[in-house]
Every structure is written in structure tokens, then in C-alpha cells.
Structure 1
């Protein structure tokens, strides 16, 4: 009996392979992550090097190479991340309320004030907002716009994880993150990270930690679009390993 395996693809992978997912019929009900990647590398030999760099997500969490996965799991092959359907995981940043989310994706402009407002509480005396915008020139090449793609439910989950890590490291510090998806023009805001804490030193440290950790683990990809072409950009500062310990963030 054969079992159907479905593996979702994102960013540069779906462009190169010409599909948003791969479907395999295999006799195996279970495989290790490394076995699955080996099968994919064999089937798509011309993309072997890229597949080798990818991580597998199982049920919206990164999986170690020796982890055992099942054909019925929600699986995705994730290329190196950038380094963001209307749902509970993706909401317009103007929809503030008492139960407004702290972590969200949106294809609409982000309000810095709105993100910051969500972390200000009476017993915190300091708050800071990191604002990421689209840069026009990078190493002599002119970017005309960016395009962001996200694995939405997992992106929200990993942003929440960053908030939990910050609260644990900096004695209850608060965090909120909003990230754009879709097209972002030059000088427009792509991400806002707001942090609050009782004192300013914790704010500065936690803000830096949040943006570095976002680049490390959150499945959001960035395509740089130029006058004469485009390219999906992955992690640019060394080996991408979202399973590494937080001390590397």
C-alpha cells in the first residue's frame, strides 16, 4: 500500500520547482527527516544543494534530521529565511482592541505607534520600537521593491516563542511584532518590533535580541526586486540553523 506525502514549498523553492507543494506516493508510513530530504534530493537532483540547506517543518515546528515524521503530518520544506488569507494569524494593524494580538502579519502598512501601544503597561518605565524599512541600495545594486512571503501559522508561532524567550530573559519584558507580507516599496516599513520593560537597559538588549532571533527562526522570506531581475534572499550572516540554541541569537 502506498501513502501520500505532501510537502509544502515556499519562496525560492516553489519558484524553482514550479509548484507550491510536492506530492510523493511512498510505501513508507514514516520516515526520518534526513530520509525525506534524501528522497527529495534524488528526485530533484538539480536542486540538491538548495534542498540540503533547507529545514523541514513538521506540524509547524522545526524538526531535527533524526526526527521521525509521518505521511499525515503537516510538512513543509523551508529554505533559508530572510535576514513576514486573512485569519487569526494575519490581521490588519489598525484593528486594535483589548484583546489585540501581539504578533501578526499584514499586507497593509504598519503603524509604529500601534505596535508600541500594545506593549506599554503601567509598571514598565521604558519602551523602544525597532523599525525595519526597505533599503534602496545594497552593495552597489539598486532595489526597486521587496516582496515578502511567510508560512503564516508557523511565523506567528515562532514570533510568540521570541516573546516568551524575552519575558524569561528580561524579567517579564513585553514584546510585540508586526511583519509585512507581499510587496513593500522603498522606504516603507517591513517590520516593527516593540519592547517594553521596567528599565531602559533591558529594552535595548531585548530589542536587539528580538530582531536577531526573528532572522534566525521565523519562516518569512524576502525577494529583492531590481530593474533587471530579482532574487530570493536567505540568511546572509552564516550557516542558517533555526534549531541552534538561543545563545547564538
Structure 2
């Protein structure tokens, strides 16, 4: 059984590739067993593999998930909350975007304005220069773009269902300088209290489950930033077993 596996961020750097063509000698293979096999084949990356999750067809997979040979498989290290592309990547309705281009808040807000909504909010996440005593020159973002867009849509659907609000999300990839926007979330709703709640939910869910990573570029070093590898609490809950 031959699987093509996509890798991202620090995990791709350690293994030295963004795609692995991996042979499984004894199929079928579960997500958990695949991680064991990869750790044995790439012991230098075993620590990162252990805290990563498997995605199958752009959804997080529990460890007992059986992986069909034709699946799109990715190994997702803890997210920071891909490969950059010079082109903009958007959902069909244009509400959700991953792009290398600078983010224009007024354009993103315009996507959610509604004549029956009396409140709108724009959350803008920017690159800060100092984190404690650590100096940042820029951030470099990667994303698993198809899955990131899918997760943005999930967030938007829940915002609509829970708060009857509209939501648009745009995220940068590539190099993002100090004071530049890396993410913009626009929300509109009939009333302001609901708008605050929906906006807070959207950014927290993005940071929790969307496969986007950032590399902190300092004056003398660079490092990938993500959720604490020692804690599984930073991961989204796997989907419930449908059987």
C-alpha cells in the first residue's frame, strides 16, 4: 500500500520534504499505526510525529481511523494558532481566504455587512515586535490551504447557526512584518453583544483547530511556534465515531 503524505512546518524541515511517498507493507493501516511506522522510519522526527495528528481527506482522524489507499493524507503538527502560493486561495463565496497579499480590512468587512445588522466588528491580528524579552523581526506563515479553508467554513457555519451572524476570515501566508496584519476576522449581527461573542468564538476556534503554522524570525534565530507539544489539550477533539 502506497500513501502520499503531506508534511508541514517544523516536521517538514526535520524530515527534509513536504511530501512523503510511504510504503505500508501490511495494510490496512490506522492513523495511529501510521504514526508508529513513520516514527520507526524517521527516528529523528519521532518526537514531533508523536504529538502530531493525522488528517484524512482534510479532516482530523482519530487514531483508530482506517486509511484508504486513495485518501489525501497529511500529518499535522500542533498548530500555531503548506506551502505558500503567490495566488490567492478562497472559498467559492469569497468569505474565506488564504493569501500572500496584504489584508485590507475594509474589503473583508464589506463581505459581511447587512442592512438588517446593526453591529459589526473587525478583529485584526498583527505581528508584535516583543514577546517578553524576545525580539521578532517578522513572522513566516504556512498553511495546509485546502483544510484551512474548510475549517474557516466550519467556523462560519457555527457562527451563523449559534448567533445568526455573518463571518468572513482572511489569513496571510508567507512573510508578515512587524505591525502587519496576519489575520482579519469580520463579523456582523443584529446586535452588538452577539457580535462580540461571535467574533471571540471565531478567533479562538481558528487558533485552536485551523492548520496554520508560524515561524518566529528573530535577530539571531528562527523557530516554529505552535501549541505546547506536551499537551494534547491544544488539539481539537477528534470527530465522534460514526459506527
Do both proteins adopt the same fold according to a TM-score greater than 0.5, normalized to the shorter chain?
yes
User: Could you say what the CA RMSD is over the residues aligned between the two structures, in angstroms?
Assistant: 1.9
- What is residue 125 of structure 2 aligned with on the other side? 132
Seen in structure 2, the aligned counterparts of structure 1 residues 244 and 202 have a Cα distance that, compared at 3 Å, is: farther
C-alpha distance in structure 1 between counterparts of 2:135 and 2:87, whole Å: 34
C-alpha distance in structure 2 between counterparts of 1:206 and 1:68, whole Å: 35
> Is the contact made by 1:215 and 1:235 (CA closer than 8 Å) also made in structure 2?
no
> Is the contact made by 1:82 and 1:233 (CA closer than 8 Å) also made in structure 2?
yes
C-alpha distance in structure 2 between counterparts of 1:27 and 1:136, whole Å: 49
Per the normalisation by structure 2, the TM-score is 0.91
Seen in structure 2, the aligned counterparts of structure 1 residues 207 and 244 have a Cα distance that, compared at 3 Å, is: farther
Seen in structure 2, the aligned counterparts of structure 1 residues 102 and 214 have a Cα distance that, compared at 3 Å, is: same
> Is the contact made by 2:81 and 2:210 (CA closer than 8 Å) also made in structure 1?
no
Per the normalisation by structure 1, the TM-score is 0.89
* SS in structure 2 at match of 1:104: strand
* SS in structure 2 at match of 1:64: coil
Superposed displacement of residue 146, structure 1? 0.4
C-alpha distance in structure 2 between counterparts of 1:236 and 1:46, whole Å: 19
C-alpha distance in structure 1 between counterparts of 2:72 and 2:228, whole Å: 28
- What is residue 20 of structure 2 aligned with on the other side? 22
C-alpha distance in structure 2 between counterparts of 1:21 and 1:11, whole Å: 12
- What is residue 150 of structure 2 aligned with on the other side? 157
- What is residue 179 of structure 1 aligned with on the other side? 171
2:3 maps to 1:5:
yes
Superposed displacement of residue 22, structure 1? 1.6
Alignment map for 1:73-88 (pairs within 5 Å): 73-83=71-81, 85=85
> Is the contact made by 1:29 and 1:70 (CA closer than 8 Å) also made in structure 2?
no
Alignment map for 1:231-246 (pairs within 5 Å): 231-236=223-228, 239-243=233-237
Superposed displacement of residue 72, structure 1? 1.8
2:199 maps to 1:201:
no
Superposed displacement of residue 47, structure 1? 2.1
- 5+ residue gaps, structure 2, are none
Superposed displacement of residue 5, structure 1? 1.3
Q: Which stretches of structure 1, 4 residues or more, deviate above 4 A after TM superposition?
A: none
- What is residue 210 of structure 2 aligned with on the other side? 218
- 5+ residue gaps, structure 1, are 92-98
Alignment map for 1:29-108 (pairs within 5 Å): 29-83=27-81, 85=85, 89-90=89-90, 101-108=94-101
* SS in structure 1 at match of 2:215: strand
